[in-house]
Chain A
Amino acid sequence: MNAAALTFSVVSKTFRSEGRQVQALAQVSFAIQPGRVTGLIGPDGAGKTTLMRLVAGLLLPDTGAISVLGLDTRARPLAVQSCIGYMPQRFGLYEDLSVQENLDLYADLQGVALTQRPARYAQLMRMTGLDPFTRRLAGRLSGGMKQKLGLACALLRAPQLLVLDEPTVGVDPVSRRELWQIVYRQVQETGMSVLLSTAYLDEAERCDEVILLHQGKLLGQGEPAQFSRSVAGRTFQVSAKGMSHRRLQAQLSRAPGVLDALSEGETVRLVMTAPVAPTAEALLPGQAGVDIVPVAPRFEDAFVARLKKHRSEGETRLSIALKNNTGDRDVVIRVDKLQRRFGDFIAVNNVSFSVRRGEIFGLLGANGAGKSTTFRMLCGLLPASGGELAVAGHDLRRAAATARGRIGYMAQKFSLYTNLSVIQNLRFFSSAYGLRGKQQKARLDWALTTFELGPLRNANAGDLALGYKQRLSFAATLMHEPEILFLDEPTSGVDPLARREFWARTNALAEAGVTVLVTTHFMEEANYCDRLVIMAEGEVLAEGTPLQMKTRARSAKNPDPTMEDAFIQLIEQRQGKTADVAA
C-alpha cells in the first residue's frame, strides 16, 4: 500500500473571537490514500475551511500533527506548499488581471519552468474551455469561468495533492459538472489526490471517499455507498392522490417513525427511523390513494439521518394567521417583458411570468443569471429599463408606503444589525413597519417562539451561527404579517438541515395563503416550488411546475432526471452544443 497522501493525527484547533473560545476542530484523525478524490462534507460551521487551511499550512494545529505527502506542515510549510495546488473560496483570482496574466503570475509563483509553459497553458485552456478568453480580465468572466480559471491556476504545476475549498458554490450546474470532469481526468492522468469540500450533497456521491464533519468532529469516513447503505431499507417515496404536495409533506414529517420527509415535486421522499416499510394507514390515517414505493438510498438520506441524531431540536411548526386571506387564487405578481440594462450590459432581458396568491414561485439560476436584479425591480429598489410589473396591483417603485407594508423582503446575506441583539433587531424591524404597544409585544413573542429564538434573545445578531441568522432575518421579515414574501437566496450557505427547517416554515406560510417568491441556486430546492422559471444570462429559459421541468428532460438514458439534469439540458439547448468539454 502506498503512503497516505494526507494524514491528520489527533488534530485540534481553537479560535478565540471576542473573548470566546471556538473549537473549530476537535481531535480529528484520518488518512486519505493517494490517487483518490475525497470529499469533505459537513454543514456550515463544521470546520471544513479550517481543515483545508490546516492542510495548506495557512494555519497550524494547536495539538496533533498533519502530514501532507509525508511532509509535516508545521516543520516544512514551504515544502508542502511546493507540492500542493490550492484553490480558496472565491477562487483567489486577481480580477483586474487578464486570464493570461493570472496564469503567468501563478506559474511564476509555483516555479513552472518557462519552457514547459506554452504546452501546459494550452492544455489547461483547452480543458477548461477558456481558450478564447485569455485576454479577458478575470473580473469579467462568469462565475463558472472564474471557477475553472481558479482551478487551472491551482493545476499549473500538476500538484500531487489538490485542495479545493467549496469550488462549486453558486456556480451553475453545467460548470459544476465540467469541474468534476476536469478533476477526474487529472486524477487519471497524473495520479494526483484531491481533497475538496462542498455544500452540495449530491456531489458527495461523485467522490471516491467522503469525510463527514460536524461541529468540528469527524463523524465518519468511507465510500459514499457505504454511507448510503446505513439507511438501506429505510427510504421510500410516497404520493397521495388528491392531496396537495405541501400538506402531504407537512403531514408526513409529523407521522410516527419518520425521520425526514423531503418534497420532491409531487411526491415526498421519506427516511424512516427503522428499516421497516411503513403502511399507508400509519403514515396518513384516513387518506385514500396513498402509494408507497421503496427507493434506493442516497448519500443525502444518510447525511440527514446522521445529523438529525446529533441535533436535539425537532421539527418546528409555524402558526400564521393571515389578516385578509380571501382564499382566492388571483394573480398578485405580474411581470411582463421586464428588462434592465446597466450600460451595455443587459442583466435582465424580456422576463415575463405571473404568480398567484398562495403560490411558492421560484427563480432558479446560477449566480449572475439576473435573479437578484429581477427581485430588486419587483421590490421597487431598482427602476426597470423596460417592460411592466405589478405587485398586488402596484408598481412598488411608485406605490405608497401602505402598499409596501403588504410585502416582506428578505435580502441576500441577511440584512441584520450585527451589533444589536436578537430582540433589538426584531423590535426595530417591527417598529419600522409601524407596530406599537400590545400588538408589537404579541408579534415579538410570536417570533421568539415560532423561530425558537427565545434562548438567544439577548445574543448579538452578529454572533449567531448562519442558520440562526437566517431564522432571525426570516422572523424580521414576517413581523408585519406580509401577504407577499420576497426571499432572495434565503438558503445560500446554510446547511441542509437548516434548509429543511426553512422550507417547512415557508410551506406553512404558503398554506396560510402567503404568496412567496424565492430565488435559489440549489437546483433541488426547485422541488419545493409550485411553479418556477429557470433563468440564465438574464433570460427565462423555461417556466412550469417542477414535474413539467423534469418530464421535459426525461429520456431513455435518464428515466428519472433530477432538476439539475433538467437545468443542464436547458442550458445545452440554449448553447446549441453538447456540454462535453472533452469534445
Chain B
Amino acid sequence: MSSLITMRLWGMMRKESLQILRDPSSIAIAFVMPVVLLFLFGYGVSLDAKHIPIGIVIEQPDTATQSLAGAFERSEFFRPLHFDAIQSAQQALDERKIEGIVWLRNNFSASLLAGHEAPIGVIINGVDSNQANITQGYIQGTWLAWLEHYAASRGQPLAMPVNLQQRVWFNAALSSQLFLVPGLIAIIMTLIGSLLTAMVVAREWERGTMEALMVTPLRKSELLVGKLAPYFVLGMGGMLFSVALAVWQFGVPLRGSFWLLLVSSALFMLVALAIGLLISIVSKNQFMAGQLAIIVTFLPAFILSGFLFDINSMPGWTQVITYLVPARYFVAIVQTLFLAGDVWPVLLTNMAALFIMLLFFFSLVWRKFRKRLD
C-alpha cells in the first residue's frame, strides 16, 4: 500500500502549500521580511562611528591651532563645529548637538612653541558608553597623527618607543554591514521556521481542523512531514533570497562554499521547524504560540546568538545560556562562510552542535506529538 502513503502525504503537502500561497502573511514573512530586515540592518543600523559631531573651542586662533582644527575637519570620523568660548560649547553638548568638545586654551600655542606640555581639554558625552569610547579613541588618534605631522613639518622627529603595524582580517574595511548581514539570515530563518510554523499549527488547533485531520488514517509521520516539508521549502527559499540580497545588494563576499552554506542552512532550518512544532504542541492558540515563539526563539537569536552583540563580552552566565540558542551555532557558521571561508574546525563543531540539537528536538516532537487530544 505504498501508493496510499504517498497519496496521504501528497495530499497533506499540497494542502499546506495551497494555504501558504493563499495566506499573504506567510509569503510576507518569507520574502518581504528579509528585505525589510536586510535593508534596516544593512543601511539603518551601523555600529561604526562616522561623522561624529564635536565642538572645537579655540580661544586664540593661530597657525598651530588652525592646523589641529584642520586635522579634525579632514577626518571622516568627525563633523566639527567651531565655538569661541567653552560655555557655548558646553551648552551645545547639553543640548546633544555635539558628542564631545576639544578645547584649546589661549596658552596652547605658546606652551607648544616653548616646548612645554600643551594641554588639550577633551569633554565627551558618556551617556552611550560605547560611542564615548569610540569618540575618545578617534580624538586621540587624530591628535597623535596631527602631532606626528606637526613635528615632521618642523624637522623634529617624534620619538615613539613602540611602532604599531596593524592588519584587519576578514572584514578589512571594518564595515559593520558585512558583519551584520550574514547573521541576519539566521534571524530570518528563525522567523520562518519557528514563528510561522508555530502559528500555522496553532491555527489548525484553534479552528478545529487539527481534530478532523487526526481522525483520518493519516499517520503521525505523514502528518509531521506533510506539515513541515512546505515550510522547509519556504524557509530555504527565504534563505536563498537573503543570500542573493546579501551578495548582490550589500556586496558581502561569500568566501566559503555555497553548498556548505546550503547544507548547514538546511540543518538549522530543521532545528527551527522542530522548535516551532514543539511550541504549537505546548500552546494551542495562535496568540500564545506567537508570543512564545518570539520569546523562545526570535529574541535569543537576536540578542544571544552573536549576530549583533559579541558573545565573549557577555557576563559568564549569559555566555552559558548562549550555548542553548541554536542560532548561535548558525550565526558562527554563516559569518565564517561569508567572511572567512571554509574554516573546517569552526564549521564542523558548530554543525555538530546543530545536529545534536536537531536530534534532541525531533525526538521530543516525536514523543510529545500524538494523534490524540489528551
Residues of A within 8 A of B (CB): 15, 53, 56-60, 77-78, 81-82, 84, 86-97, 101, 104-111, 153
A97 touches B18 (CB 8 A): yes
B215 touches A57 (CB 8 A): yes
Partner among B22, B209, B218 whose Cβ is within 8 Å of the Cβ of A92: B209
The docked-state distance in angstroms from the alpha carbon of A78 to that of B23 is 31
Given A101-B18, A106-B216, decide whether A93 and B4 contact each other with a Cβ distance below 8 A. Answer: no
A110 touches B217 (CB 8 A): yes
Residues of A within 8 A of B215 (CB): 56-58, 81, 84, 86, 88
Binary interface encoding of chain B residues 210-238 relative to chain A, with 1 for a CB under 8 A from any of its CBs, else 0: 01111111110000000000000000000
The docked-state distance in angstroms from the alpha carbon of A104 to that of B216 is 13
The docked-state distance in angstroms from the alpha carbon of A95 to that of B207 is 9
The docked-state distance in angstroms from the alpha carbon of A77 to that of B12 is 20
B216 touches A87 (CB 8 A): no
Task: List B residues 143-202 near A (Cβ within 8 Å).
Answer: none
A111 touches B217 (CB 8 A): yes
Given A89-B208, A101-B18, decide whether A109 and B213 contact each other with a Cβ distance below 8 A. Answer: yes
Task: Give the nearest-CB partner of A83 in chain B.
Answer: B217
A60 touches B372 (CB 8 A): yes
- Most chain-A CB neighbours within 10 Å: which of B23, B211, B216? B216
The docked-state distance in angstroms from the alpha carbon of A15 to that of B374 is 9
B11 touches A97 (CB 8 A): no
Task: Give the nearest-CB partner of B218 in chain A.
Answer: A109
A96 touches B217 (CB 8 A): no
What is the count of residue pairs linking A and B with beta-carbon distances less than 8 angstroms?
90
B11 touches A94 (CB 8 A): no
Residues of B within 8 A of A108 (CB): 7-8, 10-12, 14
Task: List B residues 1-41 near A (Cβ within 8 Å).
Answer: 4, 7-8, 10-12, 14-15, 18-19, 22-23
Task: Give the nearest-CB partner of B372 in chain A.
Answer: A58
A97 touches B216 (CB 8 A): no
B212 touches A86 (CB 8 A): yes
Residues of A within 8 A of B23 (CB): 96
> A47 CB to closest chain B CB, in angstroms?
14
B284 at the interface (CB under 8 A from A): no
Q: How many residues of B contact A (CB 8 A)?
A: 28
> B288 CB to closest chain A CB, in angstroms?
15
The docked-state distance in angstroms from the alpha carbon of A93 to that of B371 is 18
Residues of B within 8 A of A78 (CB): 217, 219
The docked-state distance in angstroms from the alpha carbon of A89 to that of B210 is 12
A59 touches B374 (CB 8 A): yes
- Most chain-A CB neighbours within 10 Å: which of B14, B207, B217, B373? B217
A104 touches B373 (CB 8 A): no
Known contacts A78-B217, A105-B12; 19 further A-B pairs (Cβ under 8 A): A15-B374, A56-B214, A58-B371, A59-B373, A60-B372, A77-B372, A81-B215, A81-B216, A82-B217, A90-B207, A92-B213, A94-B209, A96-B19, A96-B22, A101-B18, A106-B216, A108-B12, A109-B218, A111-B217
The docked-state distance in angstroms from the alpha carbon of A12 to that of B137 is 75
B208 touches A107 (CB 8 A): no
The docked-state distance in angstroms from the alpha carbon of A104 to that of B7 is 11
The docked-state distance in angstroms from the alpha carbon of A86 to that of B208 is 12
Residues of B within 8 A of A106 (CB): 212, 216
Can you pick out 28 interface pairs between chain A and chain B where the beta carbons lie within 8 Å of each other?
Answer: A53-B373, A58-B214, A59-B372, A59-B373, A77-B371, A77-B372, A78-B217, A81-B215, A87-B212, A88-B212, A91-B212, A93-B209, A96-B22, A97-B18, A97-B19, A97-B22, A101-B15, A104-B11, A105-B11, A105-B12, A105-B14, A107-B11, A108-B7, A108-B12, A109-B8, A109-B213, A110-B217, A111-B4
A109 touches B372 (CB 8 A): no
Residues of A within 8 A of B216 (CB): 81, 106, 109-110
A58 touches B14 (CB 8 A): no
Residues of B within 8 A of A110 (CB): 216-217
The docked-state distance in angstroms from the alpha carbon of A211 to that of B4 is 37
B8 touches A90 (CB 8 A): no
The docked-state distance in angstroms from the alpha carbon of A429 to that of B215 is 43
Residues of B within 8 A of A93 (CB): 209, 212
5 A-B pairs with least C-beta separation:
A108-B11, A92-B212, A109-B216, A86-B215, A88-B211
A81 touches B7 (CB 8 A): no
Given A81-B215, A109-B11, A111-B217, decide whether A58 and B373 contact each other with a Cβ distance below 8 A. Answer: yes
The docked-state distance in angstroms from the alpha carbon of A95 to that of B213 is 14
